[in-house]
Amino acid sequence: MPQIDFFNFFRYFLGTVVTIYATVITLQSLWGWYVWLAGSDKYVSLIRRYVILQGLRLRFKTFWGDVIICLLLCIAFLILWRGHVLIYDLGYRIEDVQRHAQSF
């Protein structure tokens, strides 16, 4: 009988659903902003220029500090994820060794 870990199943299922949901919502929002800012109205044109100007005036020193923090948090997440995988692999190997030892 296969061993099913319902916590892992729930975690992967929830991660997949949340990732798809966040991607769809983000794409819908970006498409809405694009459609709204692509208008030819006088005030929309003014707002579009303002958004472009603010993007050009973005202070990269403070922005890159936040980017570095986000990257470090992503690296920490990947290290923890890898550790989780190694611990599960170690558990499966120990179970295999115990089953092999019991067969003798």
pLDDT digits (tens, 9 = 90+) for 34-87: 988 888 888 888 988 998 888 888 776 777 888 899 999 999 999 999 998 899
Burial class (CB in 10 A: 0-12, 13-18, 19+), 48: middle
Task: Give the chain's end-to-end CA distance (angstroms, integer).
Answer: 21
Kindly state the tokens that stand for 63: 């922005």
pLDDT at 88 > cutoff 70: yes
d(CA 22, CA 17): 9
State residue 25's pLDDT score. Answer: 97
* Ranges of each domain in the chain: 1-58, 59-104
pLDDT at 1 > cutoff 70: no
State the pTM of this model. 0.55
Q: Is the dihedral of CA 43, 48, 52, 58 positive or negative?
A: positive
